[in-house]
Structure 1
């Protein structure tokens, strides 16, 4: 073991994945264990916070043990412990935070608080080791839709954000109207390949006061109303066409604002992150838009798009290097701006 190596044990429990990973020097993933609850929550059509918290309690010990074993390390080989402390489901976050605090107290290892959205961005440092700030990033997930200036590894400025539903939330709710199970984004992505993206004219909601803010609520409602009205009239809605039209509209909205912000602010490095970055339609659309403008485009591999602990370890490395450490008074926070620690 080289003494210069920084080995970080990372823990993620912000929603319905209990995850642990060991990441070396911010970019080398030695292990990445994820216990997903998606099948259990599927029958409820979304994540049930109480159930998620209970499963985290049941899973966190073996997930952390598994990460250490897969990495071939012991607690003595670690430099620090990183944990997602905000934002997310408060009960779920508390499981990870308290476990990490207990481990830090028992071992004397430094404790690194990591912001969930910062870690989604950091997933790109694993996939693209050559990527360095500054760059412009679109973070699209179930709970967040932000355009963010990444000024350095620990300094961020929000340029635009959703005023209501996040992109991932809109995907899930529109998917439910189309008859797809939770989580619906992957089903819309597949159906969209079979449909006509110009079949249905859907609204592009505008937001007063900020040219780069998003609003996906009206788009989601338009899809739901189309199905309700068709049912009342006894006519069929072509699900593949609706999926294609909905996905194209979301891609149009994101591409328009992201490319506009890049032009105004002078960025030529564009990054996509978050759970919705797994959407193949969005990945291809932004890749095409960037190619037109001679921009460099970065997106994580599919296994790093959803919630995982490797991304927490990646961001944790930069927080550690910057001296952003916590003591045992660290608490979970349900809502937290990415700009502040």
Structure 2
């Protein structure tokens, strides 16, 4: 039986990347992202500047996605967009545009949870990448989120652990800032960590009950440690940068893995999928792959371009929602905070 072709135009605008993708069923035909470099000089995302840049980028990005996919807008089956979570001004640009296109073309409108999309990105049809089977555990790690999610079906997701304060991506970026590294610092910590000794400087792991995480205490410990060492030796960071980064990264990975091991023990589920911007981190990827031989887990690591914010992952949720006829009216509202 031949599956009818469903063409989804997906729009992602939750933070500082304007993205559009076209999917034919579960296959990505195009995935275009426009980055906003303006935030680098401020050491973080400035919400007002982000929403203005989305307004400038959204039309050319969507045009590029359609052109690259070799699809005319009249062939589209539905429009999917990020409803939340994210920056309200940024979300509104994407949702307003999505509503307008859906209305003009008289096709269904589909609202997508950004974190749901990071998890279902594993179901994009990509050569060389396996799709997990249900149930599995998803570790979603990004600049704004750190969660362990039990996934029993495409739309049956339960958060079983999450951060009580800072997200893991924030811990990486703030640690980088303490070391004087430019924004975004997380990838730089990863880069230098690969050249250093992960056990050079031990940091205490926070004691948090259950499957929840906490990173604010670690961040403070790193700050005090660096201040103390710089007082003793002003060149301490320069002389030990690789070892400092390796030690910070090692500690963060240990925190994540301790909770994952606990989650596997509690649920009996040994299929683990990671998603979110921090899943691009080489240390986390390597450590997770090692668990396959170490603990007998089956791990799923997404294609690199689907780890950071992108519209292809919005499109795959859109496709699954299209099959289930989970559509929205034009009254649907964007939400800065949203649960599954």
Gap change, CA 1:218 and 1:8, over 3 Å in 2 = same
1:287 counterpart (274, 289, 306): 289
Per-residue displacement from partner, 1:153-203 (whole Å, max 9, x unpaired)? Answer: 111000100001100011000011112111111101111111111111212
- CA drift at 1:3: 7.4
- CA drift at 1:152: 0.4
- CA drift at 1:290: 3.1
Pairing of 1:212-291 with structure 2 (within 5 A): 212-235=211-234, 236-237=236-237, 238-291=240-293
Pairing of 1:46-57 with structure 2 (within 5 A): 46-57=44-55
Deviates more, 1:154-163 or 1:316-325: 316-325
- CA drift at 1:58: 0.5
Aligned counterpart, 1:330: 332
1:44 counterpart (42, 57, 63): 42
Pairing of 1:151-170 with structure 2 (within 5 A): 151-170=152-171
Q: Is the 8 A contact 1:255 1:289 kept in 2?
A: no
Aligned counterpart, 1:297: 299
Q: Is the 8 A contact 2:264 2:270 kept in 1?
A: yes
Aligned counterpart, 1:106: 104
Whole-angstrom distance in 2 between the partners of 1:312 and 1:138: 18
Whole-angstrom distance in 1 between the partners of 2:134 and 2:43: 38
Structure 2: give runs of 5+ residues left out of the alignment.
none
The number of residues matched between the two structures is 333
Whole-angstrom distance in 2 between the partners of 1:110 and 1:129: 30
TM superposition score normalised by structure 1: 0.95
Q: Is the 8 A contact 2:132 2:273 kept in 1?
A: no
Q: Is the 8 A contact 1:154 1:318 kept in 2?
A: no
Whole-angstrom distance in 1 between the partners of 2:182 and 2:325: 43
Whole-angstrom distance in 2 between the partners of 1:326 and 1:206: 42
In the alignment, structure 1 residue 8 sits paired with structure 2 residue 19: no
- CA drift at 1:129: 5.2
Q: Is the 8 A contact 1:171 1:188 kept in 2?
A: yes
- CA drift at 1:327: 0.4
Q: Is the 8 A contact 1:270 1:290 kept in 2?
A: no
In the alignment, structure 1 residue 185 sits paired with structure 2 residue 186: yes
Aligned counterpart, 1:91: 89
Whole-angstrom distance in 1 between the partners of 2:134 and 2:47: 35
Whole-angstrom distance in 1 between the partners of 2:24 and 2:168: 32
Whole-angstrom distance in 2 between the partners of 1:294 and 1:68: 42
- CA drift at 1:87: 0.2
Pairing of 1:139-150 with structure 2 (within 5 A): 139-150=140-151
- CA drift at 1:211: 1.1
Whole-angstrom distance in 1 between the partners of 2:293 and 2:18: 37
Aligned counterpart, 1:72: 70
